[in-house]
Amino acid sequence: MPNLAPLKSRLPQVGTTIFTVMSALAQEHGAVNLGQGFPDFGCDPELLEAVNRAMKGGMNQYPPMPGVMALREAVADKVQGLYGRRYNPATEVTVTAGATQAILTALLAIVHPGDEVIVLEPCYDSYIPNIELAGGRVVRVPLVPGSFEPDFDRIEAALTPRTRALLINSPHNPSGTTWSDAQMLRLQAMLAPTQVVLISDEVYEHMVFDGKAHQSACRFPDLAERSLVVSSFGKTFHVTGWKVGTVVAPAALTAEFRKVHQFNVFTVNTPMQVALAEYLRKPEPYLTLPDFYQSKRDRFRQGLARTRFKALPSTGTYFQCVQYGAISDQSEADFCRWLTTEVGVAAIPLSAFYADGFDQGIVRFCFAKQDATLDDALERLAAI
């Protein structure tokens, strides 16, 4: 056997994700898992039937590298209908193996060693490792604590001639906040004199509440011309395990994106693509999603009002952040462990979304659950 020297890690600071840790702890203790962000209910049976038809119809071999054309056409139609911009399905729409692969591929395609990439913290935990794998330098800019709104003065101060990309996320995981039209216009004006590429993570695009519209980067012409916009069928149709997403971008950006895409996944499973193309013919499932999740948000917030938690605003996603200062002075991580093991409800510490572990006494719950699951969790939380 060869005596191999220890490998030098590409990601020496990375361990097991907090989502995996808390889900395992929840399972061990029989806790209600409001930590990891996935539904505990099924998808529309019509979508499953469409997958079965595709499989039985022989759609089981490699599809085209950028994705099944019918699905790319359906995505282009949807984006045009919702946001008013037409993307060419042949050259500007790519089907990906979920949003996480899409974001990594985007960064590998555009970032060179030494390039700076701005991320707004708290942020989804894949962003920073992805930038590091691409050889980029992470520039962290905090969102305003408490409100989690973008601090444009700090973002602008972080821009340098070495800034290659800016990563934004709205609706925002973990805070549940959404960017406004005015904020997107300010971003557009700020980036206008730069060569910065925008990566816009919009996987929760169909979960914006209270009658508001999602402000996609696609809506704003000057932003769209510099943007790779990431979306997720898994989030929209309650099938997170399928890992199917899309990226829309101008042809020049898409060409570079696909150069990497073809070598890190090549393509995405065929029957799911064929089924999604068929399912997208009816817009009702995604057009009614805001009301569906708003009702769950409202049910959960009404229940939280009977507890000692303080609910922060949640204007999008399926997440609810809460302050627990009236209950404990523990760190967020310790409080989440206690909540899981002693109360029987799993949550995620917000500090896990900051590189430096910034602790504000806030934890995140996921309300993408059956009503019975939410009611069970709320009963346990009210007993604290």
Q: Where are the domains of the chain?
A: 18-43+287-382, 45-285
- The 10s digit of each residue's pLDDT in 109-129 is 999 999 999 999 999 999 999
Q: Rounded to an integer, what distance in angstroms lies between the CA atom of residue 235 and that of residue 98?
A: 10
pLDDT at position 177 is 98
- The 10s digit of each residue's pLDDT in 82-100 is 999 999 999 999 999 999 9
φ, ψ for residue 133 (rounded to 5)?
-65, -30
CATH entry 3.90.1150.10 includes domain 18-43+287-382: yes
All residues at 6 or more sequence positions from 282 whose CB lies less than 8 Å from its CB, including other chains: none
* Reported confidence tier of residue 198, pLDDT bands at 50, 70, 90: very high
H or E element at residue 265: none
pTM of the complete model beyond 0.85 = yes
Q: Using an 8 Å Cβ cutoff, are 70 and 277 in contact?
A: yes
pLDDT at position 194 is 98
Statement: residue 17 has pLDDT above 90: no
* Reported confidence tier of residue 103, pLDDT bands at 50, 70, 90: very high
Sheet holding 137-142, edge to edge: 93-96, 245-248, 227-232, 197-201, 163-169, 116-121, 137-142
**Span 228-232, mean pLDDT?**
98
Q: Using an 8 Å Cβ cutoff, are 320 and 367 in contact?
A: yes
Provide CATH code, domain 45-285. Answer: 3.40.640.10
Statement: residue 220 has pLDDT above 80: yes
Statement: residue 36 has pLDDT above 90: no
Closest by Cα among 352, 349, 376, 341 to 365: 349
Q: Which one has a higher pLDDT value, 10 or 130?
A: 130
φ, ψ for residue 105 (rounded to 5)?
-60, -45
Statement: residue 2 has pLDDT above 80: no
**Span 2-10, mean pLDDT?**
83
Looking at residue 171, its amino acid is P
Lowest pLDDT segment from 8-17, 172-181, 183-192, 249-258: 8-17
Environment class of residue 42 by beta-carbon count within 10 Å: exposed (0-12), middle (13-18) or buried (19+)?
exposed
Q: In 3-state terms, what secondary structure has residue 83?
A: helix
Share the mean pLDDT of the chain: 96
Statement: residue 138 has pLDDT above 90: yes
H or E element at residue 319: strand 319-323
**Span 161-181, mean pLDDT?**
98
pLDDT at position 1 is 58
Token pair recorded at residue 201: 């993570």
